[in-house]
Amino acid sequence: MGRGKEPGIIAEMARKDKPVVYDGAIMRHYPRVLMGSLGVAIAAMTGALLLDPPWRLTPPPAEAVGLQPQPLPAVLAPPRPTKPVDPPAEPDPIAAEMRGQVHDAQGRTLAATLITRLSVADVSTERSTPTDADGNFIVRGYRDGDRLLVRVEAEGYAPSEQLVNLSRDNDLPVGFTLSRPSSIEGIVLGRDGQPLANAPLMIRPSRGRTIIDAQGRFRFDQLAAGTHFISYPWDGPSVEEVRSGRWKPWLVGEEPFPRVPLGGVAGGALVVLTEARTVRDVTLDLSRSTATITGRVTDKMDKPIIGNEVYISTRSGAGRYPLSTAFFPPAVTAADGRYELRGLPPGDWTLRSAAPGGYRSRCADVPITLQPGTAIRQDLRERQ
């Protein structure tokens, strides 16, 4: 067979489904044809497999089975470890709170601010608690038995102060009444009956302090309606006043606060204020403070009580404000129980005895009336 007919013979045999016999001549003369044809076939099959592998399952369209297309489920991340939740704290078994309302003299509620002060071992802490729009408040963070000095302030009203003893057994609301501010004006006369100049005065219950001017005149402002007690001498300035430098114009030398020019004598006056009024011409005449009280303090067995403090205070209806201060100290009972008070002003007072440190005395209070120059003996005995 000639070389020019060999490809046709192979094609003819393949077309007639006859077996192709690759004799040596054909294999010898057509290796490239056979290998080329086989390579093309393998390449075609490989490409088809890569483009459409039989293992890739193609689901029928959702419409073909009557279903709506659904989004593929999101891959869920493993849950993060959570911090263990602490059990709720148990309530403080001795916690106490104060709740109530602030209103004016006509009974209308007021939005105000409560400033509470707690003093423990000469250390004072203050907290500020605002009321809501209707004057309601709740003060928390204190304990059963705490004694708070509460100051209530509202714009356009005189501040008010009150001592409150906290108790878990008493949950009654506490009411505070504010009034429009009032004032007191007056004069202080010394032992010689002349104006006493540049002396410090105090007023309670607001704990206000002022300095008498060179003509002996004084004035207290921003006072609430009610009964006020003006007394000489004062008990000294507050720490806040010293730090603010309020008293610097009246200091002499290196003194930390104004001096008391007249010692060994005391004076006091009770003044009743109505709302938004000024009371004038109040007089503290120290030339009339010449009364004396002496006596003895004993227990139930008539034995002397040593070291008790004896002093006079205003009557209970006026708030029991003691006349004694650091500059006019109370008398202290001696080894035989005796005491003596001098330089006392005239008026209606209460004679009281207190255990050392200010603790409540076991002796009953005694009402007493003093006149200028009188000397009264009054013993105090322990209650039966």
Per-residue pLDDT at 252? 76
Rounded distance, CA 236 to CA 259, Å? 9
95-178 and 290-381: same fold?
yes
Per-residue pLDDT at 64? 52
Mean pLDDT of all residues in 272-280: 95
Per-residue pLDDT at 224? 93
| For the chain, domain boundaries | 3-48, 95-178, 182-286, 290-381
Per-residue pLDDT at 107? 94
When pLDDT is cut at 50, 70 and 90, the band that residue 170 belongs to is confident
Omega of the bond leading into 88 within 30 degrees of 0 (cis) = no
How do strand 291-298 and strand 309-313 relate by DSSP bridges? unpaired
Per-residue pLDDT at 5? 46
Higher-pLDDT residue of 19, 61: 61
Q: Over 80: is that where the pLDDT of 6 sits? A: no
The CATH class that applies to domain 290-381 reads mainly beta
pLDDT tens by residue, 57-113: 555 555 555 555 555 555 555 666 666 666 666 656 678 899 999 999 999 999 999
Per-residue pLDDT at 237? 81
- Residue 354 CB contacts under 8 Å (≥ 6 apart), including other chains: 308, 309, 310, 311, 330, 360, 361
Q: Is 191 within 8 Å of 286 (Cβ atoms)? A: yes
> 182, 175, 184: which is closest to 275 by C-alpha?
182
Fold category of 182-286 in CATH? Immunoglobulin-like (2.60.40)
Q: Over 80: is that where the pLDDT of 123 sits? A: no
- Residue 256 CB contacts under 8 Å (≥ 6 apart), including other chains: 242
- Token pair listed for 267: 């004076």
pLDDT tens by residue, 352-381: 998 876 666 778 899 999 999 999 999 999
Per-residue pLDDT at 41? 56
What's the mean per-residue pLDDT of the chain? 82
Q: Over 90: is that where the pLDDT of 38 sits? A: no
> 362, 384, 363, 382: which is closest to 303 by C-alpha?
382
When pLDDT is cut at 50, 70 and 90, the band that residue 298 belongs to is very high
Share of the chain above pLDDT 90, in %: 53
Per-residue pLDDT at 159? 93
Q: Over 90: is that where the pLDDT of 189 sits? A: yes
Q: What is the pTM of this model?
A: 0.70
Q: Over 50: is that where the pLDDT of 22 sits? A: no
Q: Over 80: is that where the pLDDT of 194 sits? A: yes
Backbone angles phi, psi at 251, to 5 degrees: -80, 145
Per-residue pLDDT at 303? 94
Higher-pLDDT residue of 146, 15: 146
Where is average pLDDT lowest: 158-162, 282-286, 331-335? 158-162
Per-residue pLDDT at 128? 95
The CATH class that applies to domain 95-178 reads mainly beta
